[in-house]
């Protein structure tokens, strides 16, 4: 396609943060000239070849599950966490009431484009009962209303957003933003991988978690102040859906926190998928594990992640590289994602296809390699995970069953945070950083809201 050499706003990344920034900018009567640069494909062209033609992940230039219109959220199960306490860090920049207003505003846009009306977790009495049960067992249930879109419905919703935005906005797909151009301390434009320079007045950096390494490298090159973020490492748990149904039927995604006795580490559940399936993702040479659930079809299992958050101290400051190292070790031993029965792990033996076939839980990720996660996950993390499973079993009997499956590893890469203003502007004027890749959010709803924050600040300047 042809595109102009000068724009009012360039947006790098077409995930939820970039999309909602564009939607907000285009609500202005003047409709500033916008360019979106996205290294992945358009939503209608995104498809995992591993599932379509059983082609190896290593053949893909960019992972279609992580990159492209809609970002990683396009193939997530589409859970919108409607609480300011969940899914990000916007409360660092805005007061809680402002964050709540933004969440409600963004949620309304999702509903307009096709998200379902039903909300889980809005029965206060039921939530109080679950909170009491959790607290008795040293767990904290974080109340959060959840709107579940579903992996299948996400695609339709994102296509509608794309159709509205492209009428008034230029979009470059399968195009890498190579450098941010800054001269004499002022933003000038973006240089593409092929050397093309595109000028603009404002820049919104929204590369998503898959682009967090690029953003970190660019931030260091531009001498921006970086703040440390933790790395989250853990496993994905799969068990019979009825085991967790007393919780999921009320809140859909129970968000539970636990502090371990042995190390006093913070452990949490993440991305609960009732009647869903376990999936794998390919990220720059490594396979990690994730989970999906759908609006129109069900499995017999529920899956969720147990993640341990760790902040590193000096002199080490490479949490992303550490997380990649642990994932690479699992790939090395299992030639991809590894799966193990909990009973085998506790007995100090590796799982085999025969042992898993004797269990009552049928794996939904059928090409995971049976193995021994104790050779992969560091001792401290493994102890934390075992403690968490025991605690969960007391509020949902059956979680800590010997038949429960553990997939490894699940790693959440969050970039080092940038030093930002309350409007999410960097130390270089007219450059904004939003979404998961900038360490501002950890989920669809706050990523979307952060894009709105940056867009509104730009509109003030116009």
Check residue 210 and give its pLDDT: 83
Q: Please, where are the H alpha helices in 269-364?
A: 319-334, 342-346, 353-357
CA distances from 359 to 92, 243, 324, 352, 401 (A): 46, 15, 31, 11, 10
* Span 164-220, pLDDT tens digits: 999 999 999 999 999 999 999 999 999 999 999 999 999 999 999 888 889 989 999
pTM of this prediction? Answer: 0.86
Nearest partner of 151 among 395, 444, 448, judged by Cα: 444
pLDDT band of residue 119 (cuts 50, 70, 90) is very high
- Domains defined along the chain, listed by start: 6-114+149-225+418-461 (3.50.50.60), 124-146+230-412 (no CATH)
* Span 220-269, pLDDT tens digits: 999 999 887 677 899 999 999 999 999 999 999 999 999 999 999 999 99
Average pLDDT over the chain, rounded to an integer: 91
* Span 327-346, pLDDT tens digits: 999 999 988 999 999 999 99
Structure tokens at 217: 């490298």
* Span 130-162, pLDDT tens digits: 999 999 999 999 998 999 998 889 999 999 999
Query: Which parts of 149-223 are beta strand (E)?
Result: 170-172, 177-183, 186-192, 197-205
pLDDT band of residue 46 (cuts 50, 70, 90) is confident
pLDDT above 80: residue 320: no
The CB-based long-range contact list for 354-362 (8 Å cut-off, 24+ gap) reads 356/405, 359/402, 359/403, 359/405, 360/240, 360/403, 361/238, 361/239, 361/240, 361/301, 361/403, 361/404, 361/405, 362/300, 362/301
Residue identified by tokens 């966490």 is 81
pLDDT above 90: residue 48: no
* Span 192-202, pLDDT tens digits: 999 999 999 99
* Span 67-88, pLDDT tens digits: 899 987 777 778 999 999 888 9
Residue identified by tokens 């703040």 is 227
Q: Of the ranges 21-35, 69-83, 314-328, 434-448, which one carries the lowest mean pLDDT score? A: 314-328
pLDDT above 90: residue 18: yes
Check residue 351 and give its pLDDT: 98
pLDDT band of residue 300 (cuts 50, 70, 90) is very high
Distance in angstroms (rounded) separating the CA atoms of residues 200 and 191: 11
Check residue 230 and give its pLDDT: 72
* Span 49-58, pLDDT tens digits: 666 555 555 5
Distance in angstroms (rounded) separating the CA atoms of residues 403 and 346: 11
Check residue 339 and give its pLDDT: 98
């Amino acid at each position: 396609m042809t595109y102009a050499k000068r724009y009012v706003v360039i947006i790098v990344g077409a995930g939820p943060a970039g999309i909602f920034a564009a939607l907000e900018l285009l609500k202005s009567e003047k409709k500033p000239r916008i360019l979106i640069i996205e290294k992945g494909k358009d939503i209608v062209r995104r498809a995992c070849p591993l599932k379509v033609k059983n082609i190896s992940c290593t053949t893909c230039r960019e992972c279609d599950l992580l990159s492209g219109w809609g970002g990683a959220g396009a193939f997530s199960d589409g859970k919108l966490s409607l609480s300011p306490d969940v899914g990000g860090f916007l409360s660092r920049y805005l007061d809680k009431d402002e964050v709540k207003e933004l969440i409600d505003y963004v949620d309304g846009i999702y509903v307009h484009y096709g998200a379902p009306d039903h909300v889980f977790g809005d029965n206060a009495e039921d939530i109080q009962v679950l909170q009491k049960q959790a607290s008795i067992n040293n767990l904290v249930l974080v109340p959060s209303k959840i709107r579940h879109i579903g992996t299948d419905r996400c695609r339709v919703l994102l296509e509608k957003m794309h159709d509205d935005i492209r009428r008034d906005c230029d979009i470059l797909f399968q195009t890498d933003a190579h450098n941010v151009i800054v001269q004499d301390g002022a933003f000038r434009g973006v240089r593409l991988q092929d050397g093309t320079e595109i000028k603009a007045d404002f820049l919104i950096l929204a590369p998503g978690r898959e682009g967090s390494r690029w953003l970190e490298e660019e931030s260091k090159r531009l001498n921006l102040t970086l703040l440390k973020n933790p790395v989250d490492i853990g496993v994905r748990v799969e068990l019979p859906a009825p085991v967790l149904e007393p919780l999921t039927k009320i809140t859909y995604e129970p968000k539970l926190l636990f502090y371990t006795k042995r190390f006093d580490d913070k452990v949490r559940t993440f991305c609960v998928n009732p009647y869903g399936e376990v999936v794998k993702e390919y990220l720059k040479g490594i396979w990690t594990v994730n989970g999906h659930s759908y609006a129109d079809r069900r499995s017999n299992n529920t899956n969720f992640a147990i993640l341990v958050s760790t902040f590193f101290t000096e002199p080490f400051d490479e949490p992303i590289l550490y997380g990649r190292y642990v994932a690479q070790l699992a790939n090395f031993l299992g030639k991809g994602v590894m799966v193990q029965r909990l009973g085998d792990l506790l007995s100090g033996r590796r799982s085999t296809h025969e042992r898993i076939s004797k269990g009552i839980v049928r794996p939904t990720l059928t090409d995971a390699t049976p193995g021994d996660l104790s050779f992969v996950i560091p001792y401290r993390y493994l102890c934390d995970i075992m403690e968490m499973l025991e605690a969960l079993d007391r509020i949902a009997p059956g979680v800590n069953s010997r038949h429960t499956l553990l997939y490894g590893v699940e790693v959440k890469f969050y970039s080092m945070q940038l030093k930002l203003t309350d409007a999410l502007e960097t130390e270089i004027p007219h450059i904004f950083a939003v979404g998961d890749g900038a360490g501002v959010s950890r989920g669809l709803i706050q990523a979307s809201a952060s894009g709105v924050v940056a867009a509104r600040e730009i509109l003030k300047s116009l």
